[in-house]
A and B are shown apart, each in its own frame.
Chain A
Amino acid sequence: MARIGSLPAGGSVTATRQTPARAVGRRSGWTLRGLVLLFLVLVLIYFVIPLFWLVVSATKTNDELFSTFGLWFAPDFHLLQNLHDVFTYDDGIFVTWLTNSAYYAVVSALGASLIATLAGYAFAKLPFPGRELVFAIILGTIMVPNTALAIPTYLLLSKVGLVNTPLAIILPSLVTPFGVYLMRVYAEQALPDDLLDAARVDGASEWRIFWRIALRLLAPGFVTVLLLTFVGTWNNFFLPLVVTNNPAYYPLTVGLANWNQLSQAFSGSRILYTLVITGSLISVFPLIIGFLFLQRYWQGGLTFGSLRS
């Protein structure tokens, strides 16, 4: 905050430049600052209020959802009962979905970031024939519509008997063209050629150089791709919707969408409303915690993705 004095809105640089118009500008600078703050707070409320509603509603019974005002708590606190309902409904299928989501996301994220790091390192630091062509093909696929991919993927997976297995969700999630792009850009910035050449002169094999030197320096980029893939897989809806039709293999997103469909079909007369709401709250929780604690990394990822013009 030390630099506030040099703010353009706060006044001029030297006293001789302090014209009357500028003095007025200083006073209106305070109202301007107040208006900006008001605007930012209103926008913040807009972004946070649906989550507040979710937290409040998870503490209510199905009847209270209809009879009490949505943005404040009901007299009695029903959260524990709702949690109990979510975890025991239909023989505890929600626990299966939760573990499925975690399993798919962890395995995909670890695998995808390792694979993307290997590829990005090769693109950045090992010149080879066909490098730019292969890279252009990979980048070009970012524009492919996901239906164009999901339908044939489903048909091919069903031919090899992989539909309704965890692999049907994990294997396609391992392919992250954007992750390869990020790792290439990151490796170009983070790995000095001299260092790699010095290791080569010392007789280290390329494989050893990657594991002993490069991977350590690429760790921040690796974690970024890890996080992006984790979020992508945890949030994925279309692929699991297409390649699974057995509830035992659903991730949270497909399971909750299924409950939602059922609750709407009975127009809210069943306890399913509270199930969907409380289940949504649970599924949102791990990611929000992760984002708050690891913000350095996802921010880094979004940055170096956009820096290359």
Chain B
Amino acid sequence: MIPSQDMAKHSQAELRQQAIEIQDLAAPSSHLPSALRFWRGWSRRVVIPYLFLLPFLLLFSFFLLVPLLYAFWTSFFVERLIGGITFVGWQNYQEVLHDGNFWEGVRNVLLLLFTQVPLMLGLSLLLALLLDSQIVRLKTIFRLGYFLPYAIPSVIGALLWGYLYSAHIGPFAQLAELLHWPPPPFLSAAGLLPSIANILTWQWTGYNMVILYAALQAIPPELYDAARVDGASGWEIARRIKIPLIAPALVLTVVFSIIGTLQLFNEPQIMTAIVPNLIQDHYTPNLYAYNLAFTNEQYNYAAAVSFVLGAVVFVFSYVFMLVTYRRGQR
């Protein structure tokens, strides 16, 4: 209907608009009264898209927005044995801000964030670069092997490492005994955080590596050719071409790691059963909120704790994205 030389001049949006108009012309609706025609256009632009979204938006509202708003609402109340439920405004939040238990948990997850996450992502990046370079054969075996722990539920991963750390049935303690060494203090007060850091590294390095590796594979190889002709080494190509090009994927892995680490729950919860006297009920903020709600039945205060934690997560993710965005602008 449209001459082909005209096609090139039109943008996609214009084309689509034309297609819609043509359809209007072709459809018998063009003979209908204008009110009906208006309804048809409105239905196409508004009703139909929202019908496609309806199942998601309904469930999203019921299981995300409503619970969130409900929790926010309850966080402004206090339930007392005498006097029942009373509105207290921001009092719960003020208490959280002065709650030593909460900040102790925050300190633990921040320690992990600033030690375990850089180590893990550094290892992920190194593995991804090595597998992407042409130094290595049998890449598939390495890639699958590294990714394997991601397929394992984090609960099972924590259980597994709990046994491996054990001073009785753990192979490390058995080896140490063979050499007449004391058993390694994996589950002591000092060793606990590194032990948890190791579980997290074991579980998530492969996942982050796959994200970075996929981004590396998407770089067109021609980009390296010029650098190679100029005699650039593999290391220089990685530093000056590859890493800058996969920066968006790196940012993604950091943001996911920030969110995941600050919300840590499964590993310490499983470890509580193994070393009950070492992991307090407030070892991480998430564990604290859970125990406040389901052991102490302080739902209102637990909701406030969750929201302050949410704010901490938001601040860290947002600040990180802002900093990298600024850098990228320069």
- Chain A residues near B (Cβ < 8 Å): 1, 3-4, 6-9, 12-13, 17, 32-33, 36-37, 39-40, 43-44, 46-48, 50-51, 53-54, 57, 65-66, 69-71, 114-116, 118-119, 121-123, 126-129, 131, 134, 138, 141-153, 155-156, 171-172, 174-175, 177, 180, 193-194, 197-198, 200-201, 203, 206-207, 210, 231, 234-235, 237-238, 242, 252-253, 256-257, 260-261, 264-265, 268, 273, 276-277, 280, 283-284, 287-288, 290-292, 295, 299, 302-303, 305-309
CA distance A88 to B95 in the complex (A): 49
Say whether B48 contacts A146, CB under 8 Å: no
Partner among A1, A177, A277, A306 whose Cβ is within 8 Å of the Cβ of B214: A306
Say whether B56 contacts A115, CB under 8 Å: yes
Question: With a CB–CB cut-off of 8 A, which chain B residues contact A198?
Answer: 19
Nearest-neighbour CB distance to chain B for A29, whole angstroms, equals 9
Say whether B52 contacts A210, CB under 8 Å: yes
Nearest-neighbour CB distance to chain A for B272, whole angstroms, equals 9
Nearest-neighbour CB distance to chain A for B136, whole angstroms, equals 6
Say whether B231 contacts A142, CB under 8 Å: no
User: Known contacts A115-B55, A156-B70; is A256 also within 8 Å of B155 by CB?
Assistant: yes
Say whether B134 contacts A7, CB under 8 Å: yes
Number of A-B residue pairs, CB cutoff 8 Å, is 307
User: Known contacts A116-B56, A151-B303, A201-B23; is A70 also within 8 Å of B170 by CB?
Assistant: yes
**In B155-172, which residues have CB < 8 Å from any A CB?**
155-157, 159-164, 168-171
Closest to A131 in B: B49
Nearest-neighbour CB distance to chain B for A156, whole angstroms, equals 6
CA distance A20 to B211 in the complex (A): 39
Say whether B307 contacts A148, CB under 8 Å: yes
Say whether A138 contacts B60, CB under 8 Å: yes
Number of interface residues of B (CB under 8 A): 113
Say whether A147 contacts B160, CB under 8 Å: no
- Chain B residues near A (Cβ < 8 Å): 12, 15-16, 19-20, 22-23, 26-27, 44-46, 48-50, 52-53, 55-57, 59-60, 62-68, 70-71, 74, 123, 127, 130-131, 134-137, 141-142, 144-149, 151-157, 159-164, 168-171, 174, 202, 205-207, 210-211, 214-215, 217-218, 228-229, 231-234, 237, 247-249, 252, 259, 262-263, 265-266, 269-270, 273-274, 276, 286, 289-290, 293-294, 299, 302-303, 305-307, 309-310, 313-314, 317
Say whether A13 contacts B286, CB under 8 Å: no
Choose among A128, A148, A201, A231 the residue with the greatest number of B CB atoms under 10 Å from its CB.
A148
Nearest-neighbour CB distance to chain B for A133, whole angstroms, equals 12
